[in-house]
Chains A and B, each alone.
Chain A
Amino acid sequence: MTTPFPAPQPGFWAATAMIAAIIFASTAGEVLTAAAMKSIGDLDEIRAHSGLKGAIHAVLTCPLFFAGVSFLALAFFALLFALNHMNLSLVAPASASLTLVTNAIAGKIFPKENVDRRRWAAAVLVCIGVYFLAH
C-alpha cells in the first residue's frame, strides 16, 4: 500500500494564484463549451435523428468545442497541481464556488444569457452554501 505524503501548505499568495488559475481556465472552458453546444443544437434530438455516432460526430467536428476542452484540460491539470499542494476541503469549494460567480458574469457578457435576479440569487446562495459546506 502506498503511504500518503503530507505536503506543507503553501502561503496565501501561492494558494491564491493556484485557485485563480483553476477559476480562469475553468470559466473560459465552460463558456466556450457552452457556446459550442448551443451552436450544435439539442444533442438528444441529434441522437434521435442520426444515432449516437451522429451526435458524437456533431460534437467532434465543432472547433469551438476543442477550444473549450483545451481550457478545461488546463483547469484539470491546474486542479491536480493544486490538490498536490493543498487540501481538497480548501481547493474544491473555493474553486467551485467562485467559478459559479465568474461563470454568471461571463455567461451574461459572452453568450449573452439572460442572467436574471433568480439566477444571480441562486449563484450567490450556492456560492455561500459551498463555502459553508467546506467548513
Chain B
Amino acid sequence: MAHARLSPRQYLILGLVSLCAPLGDTCLSRGMTRIPDITLAHPITLIAAVFTPWIALGIALLIGFFASYLTALSWADLTFVLPATASGNVIVALFARFLLHEAISPERWAGIVLITVGVGFVAQGPSLTERPAAPALVDAADTGKERA
C-alpha cells in the first residue's frame, strides 16, 4: 500500500517529530555550555551532565521525539520521514522571529523558503515504498482465488 494520503493523526505524529527534536537540541546546547569542559580523559563527567536541569529537559523532549519518530517509521520510509520533519527548523526560526522578536537575516529567510519547498516536495509523494509480494504469498493468494 502506498499510503500516499496520511491521516490527521499521522500528520500530528510528524508534527511532534518536527517540534520535539529542535527544542530538545536547544535545551541540550544551553545545558552543555553551562558546565565545564569535558575531555576524553574524564568521560564519566559526560554521564553526570545528563542529570543537570537543562540537559534533563532536553532528554525528556528527545524521548518524546523518539517515540513519535518510531511510530512514523513504522508506516513511512526513512527517506520520507527525515525531510518531512525538517519543518521543525522553520517553526523554531518563526517562533524566534515573531515571539522572541529576534532578527532573521535574508539568508535565514532563504533557508526557510528552501526547507518549506523541500518539505512540500516530499509530502506530495508516497510515504512508503511499494514492495512486490513474496512469491509464496502470491501463489497462495492465486490458489485461493482459483478455489473461490
Contacts and interface: CB of A to CB of B under 8 A. Distances in A.
Instruction: Note whether A and B form a binding pair.
Output: yes
A60 to B, nearest CB: 11
A59 interface: yes
B35 A126 contact: no
A107 B121 contact: no
A33 B108 contact: no
A103 B111 contact: no
Nearest to A125: B118
A100 B108 contact: no
Nearest to B22: A92
Contacts of A31: 78
- Interface of A, helix, strand, loop or mixed by DSSP: helix
A104 B79 contact: yes
B49 A80 contact: yes
A40 B74 CA distance: 7
Interface residues of A, number: 57
B58 to A, nearest CB: 10
Contacts of A85: 37
A38 interface: yes
Nearest to B106: A132
Contacts of B71: 43-44
A17 interface: no
Interface in B109-128: 110-119, 121-122, 124-126
Contacts of A118: 121-122, 124-125
Given A84-B32, A122-B118, A129-B113, A115 B79 contact: yes
Contacts of B77: 34, 107, 111, 113-114
A21 interface: no
A129 B62 CA distance: 23
Interface of B: 9-10, 22, 25-26, 28-29, 32-38, 46, 49, 62, 70-71, 73-75, 77-80, 82-83, 86, 89-90, 93, 105, 107-108, 110-119, 121-122, 124-126, 129-130
The 5 closest A-B pairs by CB, nearest first: A132-B111, A129-B114, A125-B118, A133-B111, A129-B115
11 contacts: A33-B73, A37-B74, A38-B74, A44-B71, A96-B86, A107-B79, A111-B77, A112-B129, A129-B116, A132-B110, A133-B112
